[in-house]
Chain A
Amino acid sequence: MKKLLTTILVAGSCLLGGAAAQAGKSGGTLSFLVQPEPPTLASYVSTSGPIGLVMPKVYEGLFDYDNDGTMVPILAESYDMSADGKTVTFKLRKGVKWHDGKPFTSADVKFTVMDVLKKVHPRGPNSFREVSSIDTPDAHTAVFNLKKPAPYMMRSFSAYESPMVPKHLLEGKDIKDAPLKNKPVGTGPFKFVEWKKGQYIRLDKNKDYWQEGLPYLDRIVGRFIPDASTRTAAMENGEVLYAAYNAIPNIDAVRLKDRKDIDVTTDGYSMINPMALIEFNTKEGAFVDPAIRRAISTAIDRRFMIDTIFFGYGKPATSALSSNFKATNLHASMPNYPEKGDKAAANAILDKAGYKKDGNGVRLKAVLDIIPYGEDWRRAGEYLKQAMGDIGIQLELRYEDVPTWLKRVYHRYDFEMNVNYFYQLPDPVLGVHRHYGTDQIRKGTHFVNSSRYSNPKLDALLDSGAGEPDAAKRTAKYKEIQQILAEDMPVVNLFELEFLVVYNTKLKGVYGSAMGAYGSFREGYLDD
């Protein structure tokens, strides 16, 4: 009876809260597409895309960012940076509880940053590289002590980038393999309920969410539908209401856009800044010589890939950095990145480097691994196989499932050439350094320097460029970085992806966050 009463009270307060916020309608289930199925739910260990679609609804970060880049307080209410930029004090929100009822405190923040993100997260060691220690004077204050000012760190507190995880469930355990990885316990608007392998992940409303009235939705279901045309059909008949990260192929998105109940946007990816690329194994196999990698970059018709495979959504890469960094004056166009590809020049590079064609026009053979994230990437692989064949590089294609592919590339380094895409994020320190730094050769960590490229000169530049307060000097340093990388090409950038969100117009309130699909959806609601 008592339990029933509390339920009614809670439900009542939710309704009141909803009315007070005066935005959304409570109730309803949101089904959205998660493609492909995530390998685990440990967003503090892997930044793999599908994990990012699900987990920011369960775990929260200290801040969120809106579409203009303004910080929105979530688990932190405010922060204060000292004049020298070396001390950042966070005031944490009071009355926040983990889904298991334990209170969220500054000890969780300290543990998350120092013992989890800095150690096992793919990007954490970079984002928090300058954090030497965290003081916790009381349960709701966390003081970050930095070795050097790190303004870029303030861009990495979202739930996707730096999820706050419960200390009491991870401490003393093998962090990469603790039970929490598939039974997440967060502070977020939705609680993890069930993961039916091959079908769906179900999250239910967190009735004790710290912000009264939120979330509006009763339930979020992340559906896994392996077949692209079935996904499109599910979107068309309203079975799913939201699909991001090209879960609906561009060819269908272009067609669905004309429907009254479905719309398409490229918003929600500005913090992500995705770049399609090829990683090379620079230590063994066919591509140890940088000349071959330069030739490959020179031969690729980037415009063709964008126009035919991604239906015009994308921009050809012109350097190791995305052109989105032009805003901060860090991007500089480099040689070896012809937009339409120059096969004659590529052949000349290979001839000069002494790779002779045999009777069949083959200079060397290799295997091309392809990111198993859908049809578009297969087409990209098939295109590359053809393009490389023209310059005498005979490729064999290999598709595997996500866990096998991740193990091959990031655990065993058992690959030669791998089509992939990386997020360059809002600052090169967060998204780009991890490709190239010697300290980023981290066996078993996903989406870092799998090329095992190591260049002390570059390391020094990356290091000094990261914390350089003077804008002009920083520009000069990054220009030199891009020059070295255009010469050595441990990674060949292909094009800047422009992802789409395809959504049913019935779904409202989930488009305000710069994190897009990697947001919490706490303000999402259904308006019939």
Chain B
Amino acid sequence: MVDFWKRYRRNRAAVFGLVVIILIIIMALTASLFYPNDPFRLMGKPLSGPLTNGFLLGSDSLGRDVASGIVHGAKTSLLIGFVATIVSVFIGIFFGAFAGYFGGRIDDILMRVTEIFQTIPSFIFAILLVAIMKPSIVSIVIAIAVVSWPGVARLVRGEFLALKNREFVQACHTLGMSDFRIMLREILPNCLSPIIVVGSLMVATAILIESGLAFLGLGDPNIMSWGFLIGAGRTMLRSAWWVCTFPGVAILITVLAINLIGEGLNDALNPRLKERQ
């Protein structure tokens, strides 16, 4: 672990990303301390600019505080990002592991299914799913998970294909270990690092998809998120720029930070880099 941190630390940008994300998480957790009111609450004069009428970042068309929306929305955006990623990583591992380990007919079937999902443009597919299920936080998580697992599945399958013929796996076979145990205990831990790297980047994509959906009016209308703020402000972008801009910046910073972390993890976990030391 210490070793890992040493390697990670070498990438300055990655450390910066980590700090930013930790700050954002702290902000999300302490949202109610700074802004105890419901972020949907009408707090004052509508369309006040930043730093006027007691609004740090201005108010939107109904007089809701944009700063409060950003702080409270961080929770939703991060939550959706992490939960959707975890769900899709699990689906991806399931498909990829079975396809890679067993090969043959099972591989064919699972990979064809994966390809079907891969051929549908993912954002449009997500829109379709949310529209069918009626916009709610659960349906959005499902939609994001459903469109993002195929990448993980292909990655895991590749790793399993490469590892399943290695000596340690064959040794396990001779010891009479069951297939599931070999997959779970022996092969999977050995391909965790690429999964972690891909997963970290998926969090960023998930946040972007959620914002995109909310922007198009397909967000959960009862939950504050960054996408909701942008969606509510985009019709007045030309007369009240602050309503869209600040949540947009929040998304930009978060996604950038997560990408930097992903990069850092890749450096730290990449075995070839390890050998170079």
Task: Please give the residue numbers on chain A whose beta carbons come within 8 Å of chain B beta carbons, in ascending order.
Answer: 227-229, 232, 249, 251-252, 255, 308-309, 375, 378-379, 381-383, 385-386, 389, 396-401
Q: A386-B40, A399-B135, A399-B217 are in contact. Are A229 and B62 (CB under 8 A)?
A: no
CB-contact partner of A398 in B131, B221, B232, B236, under 8 A: B221
> A378 touching B221 by the CB < 8 A rule?
yes
| B46 close to chain A: CB less than 8 A | yes
In the assembled complex, the Cα of A308 lies from the Cα of B234 at a distance in Å of: 16
Q: A252-B235, A255-B239, A308-B46 are in contact. Are A385 and B40 (CB under 8 A)?
A: yes
| B12 close to chain A: CB less than 8 A | no
Q: A255-B239, A308-B46, A386-B40 are in contact. Are A379 and B62 (CB under 8 A)?
A: yes
- Contacts between the two chains (Cβ within 8 Å), count: 52
Q: A389 contacts which chain B residues (CB < 8 A)? A: 38
> B217 touching A309 by the CB < 8 A rule?
no
CB-contact partner of B222 in A255, A308, A396, under 8 A: A396
> A386 touching B42 by the CB < 8 A rule?
yes
| Closest beta carbon of chain B to A350's beta carbon, Å | 20
Closest to B236 in A: A251
| B61 close to chain A: CB less than 8 A | yes
Q: Which 9 A-B pairs have the closest CB atoms?
A: A397-B221, A308-B46, A228-B235, A251-B236, A249-B235, A375-B235, A386-B42, A396-B222, A229-B235
| B248 close to chain A: CB less than 8 A | no
| B63 close to chain A: CB less than 8 A | yes
> B221 touching A308 by the CB < 8 A rule?
no
| B237 close to chain A: CB less than 8 A | yes
In the assembled complex, the Cα of A379 lies from the Cα of B217 at a distance in Å of: 12
1/0 contact trace for B229-258 toward A, CB 8 Å? 000101111110000000000000000000
CB contacts under 8 Å to A, within B117-171, are 131, 134-135
1/0 contact trace for B51-74 toward A, CB 8 Å? 000000000011100000000000
Q: A397-B221, A398-B221, A401-B131 are in contact. Are A382 and B62 (CB under 8 A)?
A: yes
Q: B134 contacts which chain A residues (CB < 8 A)? A: 398, 400
Interface residues on B, range: 20 to 34
In the assembled complex, the Cα of A232 lies from the Cα of B236 at a distance in Å of: 11
| Closest beta carbon of chain B to A408's beta carbon, Å | 11
In the assembled complex, the Cα of A449 lies from the Cα of B222 at a distance in Å of: 28
> B62 touching A383 by the CB < 8 A rule?
yes
Q: A378 contacts which chain B residues (CB < 8 A)? A: 217, 221, 232
Q: A308-B61, A308-B62, A396-B222 are in contact. Are A386 and B235 (CB under 8 A)?
A: no
Q: A397 contacts which chain B residues (CB < 8 A)? A: 221-222
In the assembled complex, the Cα of A398 lies from the Cα of B135 at a distance in Å of: 8
In the assembled complex, the Cα of A138 lies from the Cα of B12 at a distance in Å of: 92
| B10 close to chain A: CB less than 8 A | no
| Closest beta carbon of chain B to A313's beta carbon, Å | 15
Q: B216 contacts which chain A residues (CB < 8 A)? A: 227
> B41 touching A386 by the CB < 8 A rule?
yes
In the assembled complex, the Cα of A252 lies from the Cα of B235 at a distance in Å of: 8
Q: A379 contacts which chain B residues (CB < 8 A)? A: 61-62, 232
In the assembled complex, the Cα of A401 lies from the Cα of B134 at a distance in Å of: 9
| Closest beta carbon of chain A to B211's beta carbon, Å | 15
Add 4 more A-B contacts to A249-B235, A379-B61 (CB < 8 A): A251-B239, A308-B62, A308-B63, A401-B131
> A229 touching B221 by the CB < 8 A rule?
no
| Closest beta carbon of chain B to A349's beta carbon, Å | 22
In the assembled complex, the Cα of A379 lies from the Cα of B232 at a distance in Å of: 8
Q: B42 contacts which chain A residues (CB < 8 A)? A: 383, 386
In the assembled complex, the Cα of A375 lies from the Cα of B234 at a distance in Å of: 10
In the assembled complex, the Cα of A385 lies from the Cα of B239 at a distance in Å of: 25
Q: B38 contacts which chain A residues (CB < 8 A)? A: 386, 389
In the assembled complex, the Cα of A382 lies from the Cα of B42 at a distance in Å of: 10
In the assembled complex, the Cα of A375 lies from the Cα of B233 at a distance in Å of: 10
In the assembled complex, the Cα of A308 lies from the Cα of B45 at a distance in Å of: 9
In the assembled complex, the Cα of A327 lies from the Cα of B38 at a distance in Å of: 45
In the assembled complex, the Cα of A381 lies from the Cα of B228 at a distance in Å of: 14
In the assembled complex, the Cα of A383 lies from the Cα of B232 at a distance in Å of: 13
Q: A399 contacts which chain B residues (CB < 8 A)? A: 135, 217, 221
Looking at A308, A396, A397, A400, the one whose CB has the most chain B CB atoms below 10 A away is: A308
Q: B131 contacts which chain A residues (CB < 8 A)? A: 401
In the assembled complex, the Cα of A399 lies from the Cα of B131 at a distance in Å of: 10
Q: B135 contacts which chain A residues (CB < 8 A)? A: 399
Q: A255 contacts which chain B residues (CB < 8 A)? A: 238-239
Q: A385 contacts which chain B residues (CB < 8 A)? A: 40, 222
CB contacts under 8 Å to A, within B21-61, are 38, 40-42, 46, 61
Q: A308-B62, A309-B61, A386-B40 are in contact. Are A381 and B221 (CB under 8 A)?
A: yes
| Closest beta carbon of chain A to B96's beta carbon, Å | 36
Closest to A404 in B: B134
Looking at B232, B236, B239, the one whose CB has the most chain A CB atoms below 10 A away is: B236
> A229 touching B237 by the CB < 8 A rule?
yes
Looking at B222, B232, B234, B239, the one whose CB has the most chain A CB atoms below 10 A away is: B222
In the assembled complex, the Cα of A21 lies from the Cα of B135 at a distance in Å of: 53
Q: A252 contacts which chain B residues (CB < 8 A)? A: 235
| Closest beta carbon of chain A to B217's beta carbon, Å | 7
Looking at B232, B235, B237, the one whose CB has the most chain A CB atoms below 10 A away is: B235
Closest to B218 in A: A399
> A382 touching B40 by the CB < 8 A rule?
yes
Q: B41 contacts which chain A residues (CB < 8 A)? A: 386
> B235 touching A251 by the CB < 8 A rule?
yes
In the assembled complex, the Cα of A379 lies from the Cα of B38 at a distance in Å of: 16
